């Protein structure tokens, strides 16, 4: 993402790693919260602010202490440990391709025979353990915790510290790099105090908010401010950030942003700063985005977003005038490759104005609504075509499978899946076809998983691909494919040509049959 040189977007987390050999920077949290934590845990109810009805008027309270005391037991510090490799310095670093590099290669260097290249550029690596800090919050009494993906990404070990001082190891349930959300799980003998998500769409510019977390490794800390702006986008496809002037610093990443009712309306994620510290411009991913991602990560361990299968652009005033539209709004379709939209009859030049009953003003509106829509179900899409509204019924596919990033595992296969040529294959049913975003009439075998060390992986096949031909003959069942493989072997061939469709796009791949 290009940014002005005087500005820097930073994840509000542990961008600087604390090496294991240095003293721990985080201080022990204050212990008075232990009583509140135990009392809240015993109630087995989400933590909320007192007198929430009165707080809805957004009158500045005399103190935020009651709110902090009520919700703080559900806020946690997160420490991650990972192994990093660093080169052992053996001299000045010389750029590859410099005259000195050529000199070393040709004549060698004391202690380095000719041909070894630049002795200062290469060298042994040493591994060190490093720690990083972040924040999070508990969303269920059985120990589900929400944080940022960048807080735990690449970690070998994750430890969660509660406001009471209690520490528990955590496991990753699922993570989503597109929204920078991760869900962790801790095991506790007793129910844990937790908080609930609020409706971020109800937050207004000027509303009071409370940020809690572990800034700069200093331990539990609270800061207050207002909602400075709504619907901010930084660089992600699904960005919907709440901007706030509540102080957010490194280490706050993953921590909650509360409204005065004690509901989480955002997850603190990034700051805009020229110096790495808070200057009053912080960003929290809106809870209405986060809560949907969390539900999917909890249920599936991954996201399952809808896929429409179109390329779009904004409708400008000039485009609106040329198309005879009364307003410059909607998402103009520029291309319709093979996929759900093409199957439903959508065309390039259509302007999408409504999706599943909701108005589409901007392309971002459409992207979010499609992502939230159920995979494999038909939705109504209204387009403006030649000055007239046209309603289409589109059965959405799954974006992760269309991109080749999903697991591709489908439990509704009618026959038992089999391992063939380094792949787990199952017959393509109309239900699976709808989930993949291909024609429900397509016949073939869907790739459910790929052995990363097998020939299929070497040829670039991924979960979600569909094999429709083998040996230049259609295949609809596992028996069909096995028959084609047998014929290839009997003919003395070492490989078989198969047609693979990904998001409807075909390509041929030769797979070994030996």
Q: Are 215 and 336 in contact (CB under 8 A)?
A: no
What proportions of the chain, in percent to the nearest 5, are helix, strand and coil? 20, 35, 45
Q: Are 210 and 222 in contact (CB under 8 A)?
A: yes
Q: Which one, of 407, 433, 400, 414, lies nearest residue 477 by Cα? A: 414
Q: Are 283 and 270 in contact (CB under 8 A)?
A: yes
Residues 259-293 as b/e (b if ≥16 CB within 10 A, e otherwise) read bbbbbbbbbbbbbbbeeeebeebbbbbbbbbbbbb
Q: Is 8 a catalytic residue?
A: no
Token digits of residue 497: 């040509």
Phi, psi of 185 (to 5 degrees): -140, 130
Phi, psi of 444 (to 5 degrees): 160, -165
Question: How far apart are the C-alpha atoms of 462 and 441, rounded to whole Å?
Answer: 22
Annotated binding residue 8: no
Annotated binding residue 422: no
- Residue 439: partners with Cβ closer than 8 Å, 6 or more residues away: 343, 433, 504
SS3 label, residue 319: helix
Q: Are 163 and 72 in contact (CB under 8 A)?
A: yes
Q: Is 85 a catalytic residue?
A: no
SS3 label, residue 177: coil
Identify the residue whose tokens are 């994620």: 269
Cα 401–Cα 402–Cα 408 angle in degrees, nearest 5? 15
The one catalytic residue among 150, 239, 240, 261: 150
Identify the residue whose tokens are 């069942």: 477
The one catalytic residue among 180, 240, 356, 480: 180
Q: Is 253 a catalytic residue?
A: yes
Question: How far apart are the C-alpha atoms of 73 and 41, rounded to whole Å?
Answer: 9
Annotated binding residue 251: yes
The one catalytic residue among 253, 278, 284, 291: 253
Cα radius of gyration (the chain)? 27
Question: How far apart are the C-alpha atoms of 225 and 430, rounded to whole Å?
Answer: 52
**Helices (H), ranges, 88-148:** 99-107
Q: Are 99 and 219 in contact (CB under 8 A)?
A: no
Q: Which one, of 351, 347, 374, 371, lies nearest residue 361 by Cα? A: 351
Identify the residue whose tokens are 């974006």: 399
The residues assigned a catalytic role are 150, 180, 253
Residue numbers in the known binding site are: 150, 180, 251-253
Residue numbers in the known binding site for substrate are: 150, 180, 251-253
């Amino acid at each position: 993402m290009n940014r002005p040189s005087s500005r820097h977007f930073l994840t509000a987390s542990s961008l600087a790693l604390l090496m294991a050999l240095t003293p721990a920077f985080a201080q022990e949290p204050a212990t008075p919260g232990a009583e509140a934590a135990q009392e809240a845990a015993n109630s087995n109810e989400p933590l909320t602010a007192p007198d929430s009805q009165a707080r809805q008027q957004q009158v500045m309270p005399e103190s935020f202490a009651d709110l902090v005391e009520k919700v703080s037991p559900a806020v946690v510090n997160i420490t991650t440990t990972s192994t990093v490799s660093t080169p052992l310095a053996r001299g000045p670093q010389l750029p590859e391709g410099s005259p000195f590099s050529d000199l070393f290669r040709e004549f060698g260097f004391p202690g380095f025979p000719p041909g070894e290249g630049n002795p200062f550029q290469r060298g042994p690596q040493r591994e060190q353990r490093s720690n990083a800090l972040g924040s999070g919050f508990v969303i269920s009494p059985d120990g589900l915790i929400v944080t940022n993906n960048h807080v735990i990404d690449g970690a070998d070990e994750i430890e969660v510290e509660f406001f009471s001082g209690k520490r528990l190891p955590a496991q990753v349930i699922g993570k989503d790099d597109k929204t920078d959300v991760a869900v962790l799980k801790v095991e506790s003998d007793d129910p844990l105090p937790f908080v609930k998500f609020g409706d971020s769409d109800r937050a207004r510019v000027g509303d009071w908010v409370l940020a809690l977390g572990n800034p700069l490794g200093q331990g539990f800390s609270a800061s207050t401010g207002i909602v400075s702006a709504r619907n901010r986008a930084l660089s992600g496809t699904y960005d919907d950030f709440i901007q706030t002037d509540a102080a957010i610093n490194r280490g706050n990443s993953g921590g909650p942003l509360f409204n005065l009712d004690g509901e989480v309306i955002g997850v603190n994620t990034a700051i805009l700063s020229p110096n790495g510290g808070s200057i009053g411009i912080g960003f929290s991913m809106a809870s209405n985005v986060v809560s949907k991602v969390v539900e999917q990560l909890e249920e599936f361990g991954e996201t399952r977003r809808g896929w429409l299968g179109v390329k779009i652009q904004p409708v400008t005033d000039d485009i609106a005038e040329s198309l005879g539209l009364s307003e410059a709004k909607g998402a103009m379709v520029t291309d319709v490759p093979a996929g759900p939209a093409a199957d439903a009859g959508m065309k390039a030049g259509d302007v999408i104005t409504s999706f599943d009953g909701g108005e589409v003003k901007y392309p971002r509106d459409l992207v979010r609504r499609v992502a939230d829509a159920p995979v494999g179900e038909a939705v109504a899409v209204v387009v403006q075509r030649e000055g007239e509204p046209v309603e289409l019924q589109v059965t959405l596919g799954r974006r992760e499978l269309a991109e080749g990033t999903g697991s591709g595992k489908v439990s509704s296969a009618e026959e038992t899946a089999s391992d063939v040529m380094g792949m787990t294959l199952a017959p393509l049913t109309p239900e699976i076809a709808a989930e993949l975003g291909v024609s429900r009439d397509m016949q073939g075998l869907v790739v459910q998983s790929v052995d990363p060390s097998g020939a299929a992986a070497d040829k670039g096949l991924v979960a979600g691909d569909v094999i429709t031909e083998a040996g230049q003959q259609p295949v609809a069942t596992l028996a069909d494919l096995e028959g084609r493989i047998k014929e290839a072997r009997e003919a003395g061939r070492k490989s078989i040509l198969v047609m693979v469709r990904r998001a409807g796009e075909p390509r041929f791949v030769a797979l070994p049959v030996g």
